Structure 1
């Protein structure tokens, strides 16, 4: 049996040694989930009771989960605590959304053909859910995939990221403690081959994926006929600055929004467009704040930035930044690795339009500032990529800001706020290559339900 070694993100100390599941175990998991689905889900009130107890159990282990997130995923402990709070709230959001699961009467006698009939719809669980999760929010992403399945009555098999499986494993234990019968939530520790076997099985009814576009679109192409799915990939988030009075507030926010969790967030600010007359000044201000960020072990209370998830990611970031500099970008601050797992907070001025830092998601504490002479030029640049998730515009001129928001190709545009803004009840989705379907607790629950219409002829 293959072993999965989980290590502390900064020190490389071993946190756990886990046995991975093989192909036969994948088949058994699918058989268990399929049998539960055929036998019918728990009554709604029991699902509500289980989720209520689960929220309390997570609350009781709030600090434990925060430290687990910091240790296995490298997210600074102060940000990890925020993630746990969001996760608890996510469970409560699902409880509230359960109360909105209902059908509707469908009028039949609008034409003579329907006369003498009554019709109504009800909502049923879609069936077996398979989820593949990402490393960067190891608890809250699991909440967004597992909890909607529990709430709607779907059995779920989830594969957590191999580098950060411990939060999902602990969450699954708490779910059992909360009263959900064994088998309704199964955690699969899989290599790529067995993960594909799981996802492409015809017994799967819904596939939830959070991760790279390359893997997500590939797996979608392999799904069995009729399988619904939701894919959440990344972006190269643009922010257009027009004229905004609170420059210091703006600058502090840019640093947080681009370097939170060392930039390893799918909607991190990466491209900042600023009028040419102010680009140098504001880039220097961003750099001054970036220089104050403390980089270190995420478990330390004073760390603002932790490590990147793996040494190979530092190698990649170093290569991309060096390429940008060779093509004419100026390093305002940073631009170098600190050690094998951390990279300096970095601000680049005017990278080439075709540089990797301008066209691909860097997933690192690197922000690029571009000077523009006409705001339409900035809008065109912001829209130029095949990825599109959340975008932002800063302006004290609301009319202009609304015009820019209308023209930006994004699933959400923040005015005088950052691309990283999210609350867990809002729709969250990528356009173009950035995703498929809509995330958010309530929206995911809708995806996991199917309409059934009953027509009665009297």
Structure 2
């Protein structure tokens, strides 16, 4: 049975909107409609029309720029200054989809390499993979939706998107703009539903591709239950490591590490979490990070002067508090923060040398906490950085090309940033986790490739 879900500001917990949830009967009907659309190949929207629709969407987003940014801050708790950056990225992502439509090309397959192939020509084309189901996360409530939904629209796949229940309003705004731009509604539907209905939808045999952004526990569970033939991309989290070499420019490094660790109060899958520093410099680095941390303003994300907003739910504040308290009890030195500031906020925190078995050292904290560890060598730092089952993005700070290339070669990560923080990203680059951190590759062009498949024609010449 459908219900009404209240959406609240995660700082004040005051209502900012409400949405209607869907039961399985409603979702099943949407799946059947989407599957029928896909099977009727003659009804697919031609590329030039998809281009026109996406260009109009980008224009509508530009017109509603401040409205979208305020909505991100209101429902997701991302500071307004960063919410504006998210809107800009989302617009760029839609425009990138337009560009990538022209890159979805096939190729000629040489046939006369053997006698058996002689007298034939062959070529491939890219065609839509099927119904896309996208399950999204709360931390980038507009840009993640763009990364999952716009590529489906661009490739001609019907798509059903399930936004995070904490942040559905930005998703609904984007889907509404797709309709306004001319996309027939049956080609993109947003559903807000409980986990049981979501799992039933995701594992249905009519689903061609699953795009999932969320926890590793849920992502791997869903992958194990996918119907035969369903392809997927899973984006989970990590505990991003930073290697600091002896020759690193510390003063240049500190603002980058602070931004990478405290941006969106650490609620980013590649947020700076573990900083491995030489013994002679670790305390200095921790103190300089602490100086930045204590100067940050924590509060309501809709206040333009706020640097760090709330955590998404009060229970997350409880969890981060418990993890930090555990680390301090185990011997970590508290350099800054280490306390809740209210029911919904936690102070930007710097810890020096937490125990290796503490949860802040072993798992993704997804909160405003940076841990600095004393190490004896770059080799030791890399070995420790690689010791967890997570492998996403990493970083190294050094003036030495040799050290930089050692880190690039030896760090278990899909991307290694040299003299930059771990959370750096542009939306056309590959973005992916290894091992527990994910499966397949994100990034607009990569996602569009995954949402299409090759079809080959072999023509025998008469």
Task: Give the distance between the partners of 1:193 and 1:404, measured in 2 at CA.
Answer: 43
* 1:133 is the counterpart of 2:153: no
Task: Give the distance between the partners of 2:346 and 2:205, measured in 1 at CA.
Answer: 43
Task: Give the distance between the partners of 2:228 and 2:275, measured in 1 at CA.
Answer: 42
* 1:22 is the counterpart of 2:23: yes
Match of 2:8 in 1: 7
Match of 1:124 in 2: 127
Q: Residues 170-229 of structure 1: CA distance to partner in whole angstroms, max 9, x if unpaired?
A: 111100010011111100110001000110110000000000000000011110001000
Task: Give the distance between the partners of 2:317 and 2:9, measured in 1 at CA.
Answer: 16
Task: Give the distance between the partners of 1:19 and 1:145, measured in 2 at CA.
Answer: 22
Task: Give the distance between the partners of 2:212 and 2:130, measured in 1 at CA.
Answer: 16
Kept in 2: contact 1:243–1:396 (CA 8 A): no
TM-score, length-scaled by structure 2: 0.98
Task: Give the distance between the partners of 2:84 and 2:30, measured in 1 at CA.
Answer: 32
Which of the numbers 154, 165, 175 marks the counterpart of 1:151?
Answer: 154
TM-score, length-scaled by structure 1: 0.99
Which of the numbers 252, 255, 258 marks the counterpart of 1:255?
Answer: 258
Task: Give the distance between the partners of 2:406 and 2:53, measured in 1 at CA.
Answer: 46
* 1:395 is the counterpart of 2:403: no
In the TM superposition, what are the counterparts of 1:332-347 in structure 2 within 5 Å? 332-347=335-350
Partner SS state of residue 347, structure 1: strand
Q: Residues 246-270 of structure 1: CA distance to partner in whole angstroms, max 9, x if unpaired?
A: 3222111111110000000000000
In the TM superposition, what are the counterparts of 1:10-409 in structure 2 within 5 Å? 10-40=11-41, 41-244=44-247, 246-409=249-412
Partner SS state of residue 304, structure 2: coil
Gaps in structure 1 of 5+ consecutive residues: none
Q: How many residues align?
A: 458
Match of 1:416 in 2: 419
Q: Residues 333-381 of structure 1: CA distance to partner in whole angstroms, max 9, x if unpaired?
A: 1101111110011000000111100010000000000011111110110
Deviation at 1:411, TM superposition (A): 0.3
Partner SS state of residue 124, structure 1: strand
Kept in 1: contact 2:249–2:397 (CA 8 A): no
Task: Give the distance between the partners of 1:25 and 1:82, measured in 2 at CA.
Answer: 35
**CA, structure 1 residues 245+362, in 2 after alignment: closer, same or farther (shift >3 Å)?**
closer
Task: Give the distance between the partners of 2:18 and 2:375, measured in 1 at CA.
Answer: 52
Partner SS state of residue 62, structure 2: helix
Deviation at 1:244, TM superposition (A): 4.4
Kept in 2: contact 1:91–1:147 (CA 8 A): yes
Gaps in structure 2 of 5+ consecutive residues: none
Task: Give the distance between the partners of 1:14 and 1:346, measured in 2 at CA.
Answer: 29
Partner SS state of residue 277, structure 1: coil
Q: Residues 405-437 of structure 1: CA distance to partner in whole angstroms, max 9, x if unpaired?
A: 100000000011110000000000000100000
Task: Give the distance between the partners of 2:91 and 2:18, measured in 1 at CA.
Answer: 28
Q: Residues 436-455 of structure 1: CA distance to partner in whole angstroms, max 9, x if unpaired?
A: 00000000000000100111
Task: Give the distance between the partners of 1:264 and 1:18, measured in 2 at CA.
Answer: 24
Kept in 1: contact 2:94–2:150 (CA 8 A): yes
* RMSD of equivalent CA atoms: 0.8
Deviation at 1:79, TM superposition (A): 0.2
Task: Give the distance between the partners of 1:12 and 1:32, measured in 2 at CA.
Answer: 37
Deviation at 1:2, TM superposition (A): 2.1
Task: Give the distance between the partners of 1:245 and 1:271, measured in 2 at CA.
Answer: 16
